[in-house]
Structure 1
Amino acid sequence: MKKIALFLAVALVAISCKNKEEYTISGSIDGMKSGTVYLEKLSENGMSTIAVDTVKVLDGKFEIKGKALEPSIHFIQIDKLEGKVLFILENGDIDITVDKDSVFKSKMGGTYSNDEFYTFNEQLAKLQKKSQGKIVKFQQENMAKMTEAQKNNDTIVMNSLRNEIKALRSESTGFMNSYPKTHPKSFISILLLENMLNNPDIKITDVEKTFNSLEESLKKSTAGKKVTETIASLKKQEAALKTPSPASASGVAPNFEGKSPDGKTISLKESMGKVTIIDFWASWCNPCRQENPSVVAMYNELHSKGLNIIGVSLDENLDKWKKAIDDDKITWNQVSNLKGWKDPIAVQYNITQIPATIILDANGTIVAKDLRGEELKAKIKELLAK
């Protein structure tokens, strides 16, 4: 009997070890007897998904097996159904219950990360629903005020209203920002920190401190290494911003050419106006992103009077550059060689820090440099009035 008991114990340990080295996704779809299920992952640029496995639905159930090197975001896509089930693929037994009428309400669990993910989503949804009601009410009460401010390009009122809306979302954003501090073993924490680094209002040092408190395996994961690289890049940017600005340039600005986001060649010469701003920036530059709303408002107000802007991005990633342009509602010409600080235009103009602005008159002569906010707007109005 002792030998049998010992054999069973060894067998159980072996099974346990095996389970940790592979995953089994057990899925069910109530009311759907047959169909095709696709296991998908994000493409390298993160802008689309690609299928990595395919199985059939039999009597409303499906099963997918394989091995995962580390936790990562994956999706379940079912033919004939709209939407994808987002979950965390990791070794272990993963249970997914698909809601065919509303795929986004599907449940996932079975492993630590997916149990956490489902709980996180439920809590966040409640907070967002609560704040959304307040936001809708606020927007309805202030619709006329916002419309009037937009009509008059009143950036002070517009920014004030936006800040009030942001405050109404504070409960849900606070929940997301604090989650990594209280869940150092959760893969969701890495994803949230990665997202926080795209927020210009978040301090890099705070993100770094929280990241350093996470479990070592998370920090060494592919997602963790990406966060490490982003933090290093942003810290380098912050250090560059503390470097004293070089002496103000003068004379005629040299012409340059660069590729737009859609691959079109655009030159400084063809972008000139009565007054022109050369705006050096990047999607990863927090101070640049913080400055963009006021520059957009100024451009919308003064473009018809002769103001032109050409942006020169020090990005290296095309998709992130495009997204920042879209998110910040930038409509003026944009160029980049996607070479970061080695961009030939930045080198040509001796740019060692961003944001950096160079203001030109109608003749292309450099008349001012590195102005921001109201000081920049006042200078542009002064030059347009001549």
Structure 2
Amino acid sequence: MKKILVLGCLLMSVVGLFGQNKASQEVEGYVINGVVEGKYKADKVYLLEQKEIQGETTVIDSANVVDNRYTFKGGNVKYPRMCFIKSAVPECTSPLLPFFLENGTIRIRGNADFFMNSEARGTINNDIFSFYNFLKRYVNDSLMRAFIIDSQIHGVQDEKTELEELRRRSDLMKRREREIETNVFEQYPDQVCAPYIVYLNMKHDLSLDELKALRAKIAPNLNEHPYTKQWDEFIRLKDFKVGSMMPDFSLPDQNGKMIRLADYRGKYVLIDFWASWCGPCMKEMPNVVKLYKACKGKNFEILGISLDNKKDTWTAAIKKNGMKWPQLCDFLAWATAPAKACGVQAIPQTILIDPQGEVIALGLRGVELEKKIKEVLNKK
């Protein structure tokens, strides 16, 4: 397998060199020449932009399909990025075709019934991404063939053996795919596909130190690319822990008055993320009410940050539960700035900070939360 990977990287070097062909280099901006194979039951395709990796897509252009061919043209692309050609056929099994939008002539060939099973070539990131997907398909196909051969030789095994074999194959596939991803990254740290592949496929499986080590290898020309900045933000959130400084924020209270975290500097502050629609939050709230009554006025404050998106349900929950501490909400739900800044993925979530703004506890609830707060307040 190592020989195959080495060969793959060598071939990618050749592919990359020829991907930037003379015709592509002479194009100002981008040209997309697409071919749809099979019976296409519509007269248009759409060009969709995705500004963030795994973010929302937006239609930015459309093109007529004539004799199964279409063309898109556009001006200079400052930051190459992942985009999609979307089928206009409602019953299309897989309507989105991914490719990197970048300067040059991009050639796309795909199937009318399954847009995902298509290939984009002609520019460097698309050539690299195409070969990367080829190598991954090779891994999947080779392991599947090995499984079929083993089944033919040994037949169906007992349940325990079959499960162990399934686990072994899955682990092997994951390791080989990781080798491919790492090799592509190491070979092309100056191309946009490098941060894209790491962020899309590797970020949750790597430790913080491993992510930082890979980030240090990204070429300087990509430091300002949105994908690299998205990676940096992921690292920052992953690194948010006890000992981090809590980012400042400002949000409106129930009366529309802007409340700023920095105004509470000098006090212990419990930041409580919650929502009226969150069952566990409502179940936990009596404990928080009890805690506030016990610790109010002891150099301590709670700031409630709601992830509600409707004012009436938010204020009704505050009144019903007797939540007397400052309550803040901008009705952006999970997109509210402090939730994003702290990487809040689930609620209820609590962050306890000291008078200097340093995080001293994360995610405490119930008895543990009460014990921690009383502990730090008794130190004064």
With the length of structure 1 as denominator, give the TM-score of the two structures.
0.55
Counterpart secondary structure, 2:203: coil
Which residue is 1:40 aligned to?
48
Moved more, 163-172 or 116-125: 163-172
Change (3 A) 1:262 1:187: farther
Which residue is 2:106 aligned to?
94
Deviation at 1:172, TM superposition (A): 1.3
Given the alignment of the two structures, is residue 211 of structure 1 paired with residue 218 of structure 2, yes or no?
no
Cα separation, 2, equivalents of 1:108 and 1:134: 29
Deviation at 1:193, TM superposition (A): 2.6
Counterpart secondary structure, 1:198: coil
Counterpart secondary structure, 1:86: strand
Which residue is 2:291 aligned to?
none
Change (3 A) 1:256 1:228: closer
The one of the two structures with greater contact order (alpha-carbon pairs below 8 A, sep at least 6) is 2
Moved more, 72-81 or 225-234: 225-234
Change (3 A) 1:360 1:73: same
Count of residue pairs brought into register by the alignment: 269
Cα separation, 2, equivalents of 1:255 and 1:168: 45
Matching residue's letter, 2:207: K
Which residue is 1:82 aligned to?
93
Change (3 A) 1:35 1:120: same
Given the alignment of the two structures, is residue 230 of structure 1 paired with residue 234 of structure 2, yes or no?
yes
Instruction: Determine if contact 2:140/2:173 at 8 Å carries over to the other structure.
Output: no
Which residue is 1:175 aligned to?
180
Cα separation, 2, equivalents of 1:261 and 1:71: 41
Deviation at 1:61, TM superposition (A): 0.6
Deviation at 1:171, TM superposition (A): 1.3
Change (3 A) 1:368 1:217: closer
Taking the TM superposition and a 5 Å limit, the aligned residue runs for 1:135-146 are: none
Change (3 A) 1:346 1:367: closer
Gaps (5+ residues) in structure 1?
1-14, 148-156, 242-253, 273-313, 326-333, 337-342, 370-386
Instruction: Determine if contact 1:36/1:55 at 8 Å carries over to the other structure.
Output: yes
Give the alignment partner of residue 348 of structure 2, picking from 335, 340, 364. 335
Taking the TM superposition and a 5 Å limit, the aligned residue runs for 1:1-386 are: 19=27, 21-32=28-39, 35-42=43-50, 46-67=54-75, 68-80=77-89, 81-83=92-94, 84-131=96-143, 165-166=170-171, 168-195=173-200, 198-199=203-204, 201-235=205-239, 237=241, 240=244, 258-260=273-275, 266=282, 268-269=284-285, 316-317=339-340, 321=344, 334-336=347-349, 346-347=352-353, 352=359, 357=364, 360=367, 366=371
Deviation at 1:115, TM superposition (A): 0.8
Change (3 A) 1:267 1:145: farther
Cα separation, 2, equivalents of 1:166 and 1:39: 37
Cα separation, 2, equivalents of 1:39 and 1:106: 15
With the length of structure 2 as denominator, give the TM-score of the two structures.
0.56
Counterpart secondary structure, 2:113: coil
Cα separation, 2, equivalents of 1:17 and 1:215: 22
Counterpart secondary structure, 1:227: helix
Matching residue's letter, 1:259: W
Counterpart secondary structure, 2:282: strand
Deviation at 1:16, TM superposition (A): 7.8
Instruction: Determine if contact 1:99/1:105 at 8 Å carries over to the other structure.
Output: yes
- Deviation sequence 1:330-369 (CA, Å, 0-9, x none): xxxx325xxxxxx6x53499983566555639xx964999
Change (3 A) 1:129 1:237: farther
Cα separation, 1, equivalents of 2:183 and 2:276: 35
Counterpart secondary structure, 1:106: strand
Give the aligned CA root-mean-square deviation in angstroms. 4.7
Deviation at 1:131, TM superposition (A): 4.5
Cα separation, 1, equivalents of 2:109 and 2:228: 29
Instruction: Determine if contact 1:359/1:367 at 8 Å carries over to the other structure.
Output: no
Deviation at 1:69, TM superposition (A): 1.7
Which residue is 1:289 aligned to?
none
Counterpart secondary structure, 1:62: strand
Deviation at 1:49, TM superposition (A): 1.8
Question: Equivalent pairs: percent with the same residue?
Answer: 16
Cα separation, 2, equivalents of 1:195 and 1:100: 26
